[in-house]
Amino acid sequence: QKVSVEVLDHLEHLALVDFRDSEGVERLQKAIQFADQLHEVNTDGVEPMDSVLEDRWCLYLREDDVTEGNCTKELLENARETVEEYFVAPPGNIPLLKLEEQNTYLQGS
Amino acid sequence: MAAVAAMAAAGCGGVWRQARQRFARWPGPGSRPFSRGHRAVVCNARGGAVSAGKSGLAPWIPVVGLEIHAQISSNSKLFSGSQVQFAAPPNSLVSFFDASLPGTLPVLNRRCVEAAVMTGLALNCHINKKSLFDRKHYFYADLPAGYQITQQRVPIAVNGSLSYSLCIDNKMSQMVTKTVRIKQIQLEQDSGKSLHDDTRSQTLVDLNRAGVGLMELVMEPDMCCGEEAAAAVRELQLILQTLGSSQAVMAEGQLRVDANVSVHHPGEPYGVRTEVKNINSIRFLAKAIDYEIQRQIQELGNGGTILNETRAFDSKLGCTIPMRDKEGKQDYRFMPEPNLPPLILYDAKSLPANMNHQQVINIDWIHERLPDLPSVKREKLVEQYGILPEHSFTLLVLAELWKGEGKTPLETVKEHKLELLQDLKELEQICQAVIDGQENEVLAIKAGNRKVLNKLIGLVQKKTQGRSNPVLVKQLLEKKLSE
């Protein structure tokens, strides 16, 4: 069962991945097939597992103390562009072009 | 069906305020929307809303549901140790985790969990002893990780209720209690702040707020108009402030309310709903909801359809407009947060024997220590002092006002601009300004029409925001007019 072009396009918009070529799409198909094996197990009435550690995986609760922060300079060092200690980003989300407007592999398929 | 003019409930300023709402007479061809007229949509005491329309035309039932985000009052953030503080230098309260740098992990803040449990208990919720964290994915500059950690599958509290009171007549002598069901309360992260610089076509991002703990309260659509929503939110504010789980100040973004609005005919399925955002005060909340109800009724009455969209409230224009940045329906691709195991809470019965106390949250222990909620306090005031229920509302809000940390009553009064204007010179100047601006009225008064003087007194009161002594104002005006 192949993944439709519409679904692939939808995924590209959601995750900003580029399936790039037939090899990329094929890899996705194989990954889905591999995961689908899970359906072979009957899980009726079985609670989903959170972790193989089960009860031994305890959520650690931290005290409400201020222990971090105050490292503006360090954080801004990673940014290509800053303005008065603010990070700079494009004006809004720049949406991917619609499928019809693209010049990618998906458009050709 | 008589149109009943209802008054909005008392505002949170400790002052009884009369909010007269204007609506179109609906339905009616050629009726101008929002012209002065009777209230077309009315919430009656039994909870349904009916339009006072011409007979023969089916009435509309508005349905209103609220989604509220309350910032948790804590020293540090939900999953990191950076400080929670309003108005600090940009990006100074940001840890490596908040900035989503690789290799960092979330660590849950105990105080945030307690705040959510307290709030859930105060709102009669069932507290889930096991709740889970999830990732909600979307791209935005103020969300560095590309996802928000929230509780989508199993939230910390479910199935509660919030009771609030409304005045149902002009004289504020009849109060009715209403209830709105709380669907759930969940813990989640706040995002950073975006400042849009349109001139340079860029967005400036401050992550100080990124990662601050939020309680999202989802209410069932049990309300039918702006007035009910406003009253419910006011009561919620009081409750949160009494508990101390959130300071719930809307102006500082500690309480954010989005409204879901739809209309339908009785007996028919619910209509398409719109989500209204960008509401910055309780007053605007009521306005935005009532506008949206009217807009939908008008649209449908004209044969149009309602889009399932998100609209922003424009407070200057008093209307809702479609939000541009929303591209169709969002797919958040929820998945379990792999770095956090389930949150387990205990009660007196299930308390584990050999665990470190600091790692255990006991619901019953928290329940025993809940403070008296506003509704209980009001009942006690009425019982003890024999006052009217509606006066208990004012007293309680005043009490909150005066509780301000470290502030003397005098400072609180000054801060809220409650005191009378003492500066005679200033008052004289205002009186003169009013006289100078009202030529026709001055002529009328001098010609012998003394009643017009009241209008001038009213204008002075307006300019001084009700802080002037009307007797003194009358004297000053009369003196000036006789010169």
Task: Check CB contact under 8 Å for A86 and B110.
Answer: no
Of B474 and B207, the structure prediction assigns the larger pLDDT to B207
B264 DSSP β-pair partners: B61
Instruction: Catalogue the long-range contacts made by B198-201 (C-beta closer than 8 Å, 24 or more residues apart).
Output: B198/A91, B201/A90, B201/A91
The beta-carbon neighbor of A93 closest among B90, B139, B358 is: B139
- Could you read off the pLDDT of B156-188 as tens digits, one per residue? 999 999 999 988 776 666 789 999 999 999 999
Q: How far is CA B202 from CA A88, B143, B194, in A?
A: 7, 16, 10
Cβ contacts below 8 Å, chain A against chain B, sum to 139
A77 touches chain B (CB under 8 A): no
Q: Mutating which of A61, A88, A97, A98 best tests the B interface, going by the most B Cβ atoms within 10 A?
A: A61
What does DSSP assign to residue B82? B
| pLDDT for the residue numbered B340 | 96
| Average pLDDT of the residues in B62-82 | 98
How far apart, in whole angstroms, are the C-alpha atoms of residue B65 and residue B224? 8
> How far is the CA of A10 from the CAs of A15, B137, B312, B335, in angstroms?
9, 14, 26, 18
**What is the rounded average pLDDT of the residues B321-340?**
81
Whether the pLDDT of residue B18 is over 50: the answer is no
Under an 8 A CB cutoff, do B202 and A90 touch? Answer: yes
| CB-nearest partner of B205 from A69, A71, A89 | A89
Report pLDDT digits (tens) over A3-60.
888 888 888 888 888 887 888 889 999 999 999 999 999 999 998 888 888 888 889 9
**Contact present, B257 and B223 (Cβ < 8 Å):** no
In angstroms, the CA B378 to CA B393 distance is 7
> Is the pLDDT reported for residue B254 higher than 60?
yes
Res B33 pLDDT > 60:
no
Counting Cα atoms < 13 Å in the Cβ hemisphere of B347 gives 12
Instruction: Kindly report, residue by residue over A50-65, the tens digit of the pLDDT.
Output: 888 888 888 999 999 9
Asked if B340 lies within 8 A of A85 by C-beta distance, the reply is no
Distance to chain A for B430, nearest Cα, Å: 42
Q: Could you give the ipTM of this predicted complex?
A: 0.88
B286, pLDDT greater than 60: yes
Query: What are the tens digits of pLDDT across the range A85-105?
Result: 999 999 877 777 776 777 777
Q: Is the pLDDT of residue B344 over 50?
A: yes
Spell out which residues of chain A touch residue B203, defining contact as CB-CB under 8 Å.
Answer: 88-92
Contact call for A86 and B90, based on CB within 8 A: yes
What pLDDT does residue B96 have?
98
Q: What is the pLDDT of residues B122-146, one digit of tens each?
A: 999 999 999 999 999 999 999 999 9
Predicted local confidence at residue B402, as pLDDT: 63
Q: What is the pLDDT of residue B385?
A: 80
Please tell me the predicted confidence (pLDDT) of residue B325.
52
Q: A44: distance to nearest CA of chain B, Å?
A: 19
- Predicted confidence at residue B443, as pLDDT, reads 86
Instruction: Give CA angle at B156 (B151, B159), nearest 5°.
Output: 110
Give the residue among B18, B34, B16, B15 at the shortest CA–CA distance from B26: B34
Interface touch A64/B139, C-beta < 8 Å: no
d(CA B265, CA B2): 19
Instruction: Compare all CA atoms of chain A with the CA of B194 and give the residue at the minimum distance.
Output: A89
pLDDT score of B30:
36
- Are B204 and A16 inside 8 Å of each other by CB? no
